[in-house]
Chain A
Amino acid sequence: MAVGISGYGVAVPRLRVKKEEYAKAWGSFRAAGVKEKAVMGFDEDVLTMAAKVSRRALSSVPISADRITRFAFASTSAPYGEKLLSGTIITNIGAPSDAFVSDHTTSSRAGTEAVIAGMEHLRSNPEGCTVVSAADAPKASMWKSIEHGLGAGAAGFVLSKENLIAEIEGHASFACEHFGERFKSNSEDLIQDLEVRKFAQSSFVGATTKAATNLMTSLKSKPDDYAHIVIQQPDARMPATIAKKLGFDPEKLVKGSVVSEMGDIGAASTLVGLAAALDSAQMGEKILVVSYGSGAASDAISLKVVGERRASPSVRTEIERKEYIDYIQYLKLKGAIR
């Protein structure tokens, strides 16, 4: 029996900062194609966002929280380096304490990592129910150009074998050793980037195209079979480069593109993108999801839409609910002024 997505939910924090604020403060804005980005309020973090989307995903399905047997959380911006993160979320959503939980926290690919881990659980536990929740709000020094695009957002999914709205047809990955792009040392909570641009881009393009090609080879599928492709969105340019390289019409990126209004949301990037694609995809359409995490790895997941969807609110509704803040307020909320 097929495994897949039974329901999903998304959340975009209400505050936004526009790229013009950066232009005023720094004289430039360095995230290609990002117009504005979402910012968490003072009392939010990735765990509160993850709890919210897990609840929303559960409320979209006729499955109650006490049936959860597996929970997987993904983020690169966890509030603790050591301490169970999933515990906060499962307690809030009312999942049983005997569910197997895991925290995936060292890569912007962690969202798809959690989906694949959660899905594998269902192979050995056909009656089980998995909730995957990816929430991220990456942080870097305000002096670094990588900081400009960093936003916030979250998506949660209920995976099971019942009431599927999208079947997971298969997945494939690519992993190798790479360094110098986007890393965080153990001694601080800010992303570093050595800005060796071409070197970083070759890893990004190489890993994602290999994972996607591996998957299409094993499924005997081709770009024409997919109506939508969702690719990791550090900015708007990278996914376009990769789609082109894979032989996809860049138009197929449109439905799952969220970076221009939310910013780079790290481990939640591909899953919020997938939710946006699911919001408007037609029955029978296929979606290819390709994540990337520095260091470096990529996962590709192939899905087919098989049921009516009723996620509430939609990604669009969440994006449109907003209040603008200026750069000074942004600095205060990000804890950049001490």
Chain B
Amino acid sequence: MAHVSIPMYWRTIPQRYKMIGQKCKKCGSVNFPPKGVCKYCNESSDFEDIGLSGKGTVHTFVMIGAGGAPPEFVEQEKAGGSYPVAIVELEEGPKVIGQIADADPKQVGIGMKVSTELRKVYNEEGVIRYGFKFVPD
């Protein structure tokens, strides 16, 4: 399992629960998740926090199934069936990876409008790891 320690997960709560991104004070681009140096201008480390809308468009996606799920998602795949994972282009610019929940897999497609919702991501060490997933908007 790709182990993420409790403190490490806790530090990502602003991103996972609230979609807090960072706006580069030099070039104005929005980074999500946060970076040490702006990935767009590669020059500045001066950011301000910005709450993202969570809305975006599916750039591309893949269905995870047939035993292909990473260890922490095996139970989800067994209980709920195959699930889509997408790269979503957020309306503020960044492209992020996330599961698409609550959708009929046949309806998931490139260009689909999505928004974010808090979901259970996985459970490790008896601690439920919550975080955003995309849902049809």
Listed in ascending order, the chain A residues whose CB lies under 8 Å from chain B are 14, 41-45, 47-48, 51-52, 79, 88, 91-92, 94, 323, 332-333
Which of B18, B118, B119, B130 has the most chain A CB atoms inside 10 A of its CB? B118
Q: Complex: how many Å from CA A332 to CA B119?
A: 18
- B17's contact among A45, A79, A91, by CB below 8 Å, is which? A91
Kindly specify which of B23-31, B32-40, B72-80, B88-96 makes contact with the partner chain: B72-80
- Pair A43/B17 contact, Cβ less than 8 Å: no
Q: Total A-B residue pairs with C-beta atoms closer than 8 Å?
A: 51
Report A-chain residues with C-beta under 8 Å of the C-beta of B80. Answer: 41-43, 332-333
- Pair A42/B79 contact, Cβ less than 8 Å: yes
Report A-chain residues with C-beta under 8 Å of the C-beta of B76. Answer: 42-43
- With A94-B51, A333-B80 as given contacts, are A44 and B119 in contact (CB-CB < 8 Å)? yes
Report B-chain residues with C-beta under 8 Å of the C-beta of A48. Answer: 117-120, 130
Report B-chain residues with C-beta under 8 Å of the C-beta of A88. Answer: 17, 118, 130
CB proximity of B103 to chain A, nearest CB, Å: 9
Listed in ascending order, the chain B residues whose CB lies under 8 Å from chain A are 13, 17-18, 51, 75-76, 78-80, 99, 101-102, 104, 117-121, 128, 130, 133
CB proximity of B77 to chain A, nearest CB, Å: 9
Q: Complex: how many Å from CA A94 to CA B99?
A: 22
Q: Which residue of the partner chain A has the closest CB to B130?
A: A88
Which of A43, A48, A91, A323 has the most chain B CB atoms inside 10 A of its CB? A43
- B118's contact among A14, A42, A51, A332, by CB below 8 Å, is which? A51
The list of the 5 closest CB pairs from A to B, nearest first, reads A42-B80, A43-B119, A332-B79, A51-B118, A43-B120
- With A91-B13, A94-B18 as given contacts, are A332 and B78 in contact (CB-CB < 8 Å)? yes
Q: Complex: how many Å from CA A47 to CA B131?
A: 12
Q: Complex: how many Å from CA A267 to CA B79?
A: 26
24 pairs, A vs B, C-beta closer than 8 Å:
A41-B101, A42-B79, A42-B80, A43-B76, A43-B80, A43-B121, A44-B119, A45-B128, A47-B130, A48-B117, A48-B118, A48-B120, A48-B130, A51-B118, A52-B117, A79-B128, A88-B130, A91-B17, A91-B18, A92-B17, A92-B18, A323-B104, A333-B79, A333-B80
- Pair B78/A52 contact, Cβ less than 8 Å: no
Q: Which residue of the partner chain B has the closest CB to A50?
A: B118
CB proximity of B15 to chain A, nearest CB, Å: 12
Q: Which residue of the partner chain A has the closest CB to B20?
A: A94
Q: Complex: how many Å from CA A228 to CA B80?
A: 39
Q: Which residue of the partner chain B has the closest CB to A42?
A: B80
Q: Complex: how many Å from CA A41 to CA B117?
A: 13
- With A48-B119, A48-B120 as given contacts, are A14 and B102 in contact (CB-CB < 8 Å)? yes
Which of B75, B76, B99, B117 has the most chain A CB atoms inside 10 A of its CB? B117
Q: Complex: how many Å from CA A94 to CA B14?
A: 10
CB proximity of A251 to chain B, nearest CB, Å: 35
Report A-chain residues with C-beta under 8 Å of the C-beta of B79. Answer: 42, 332-333
Report B-chain residues with C-beta under 8 Å of the C-beta of A79. Answer: 128
- Pair A45/B117 contact, Cβ less than 8 Å: no
Q: Which residue of the partner chain A has the closest CB to B14?
A: A91
CB proximity of A165 to chain B, nearest CB, Å: 25
Report A-chain residues with C-beta under 8 Å of the C-beta of B51. Answer: 94
- Pair A41/B128 contact, Cβ less than 8 Å: no
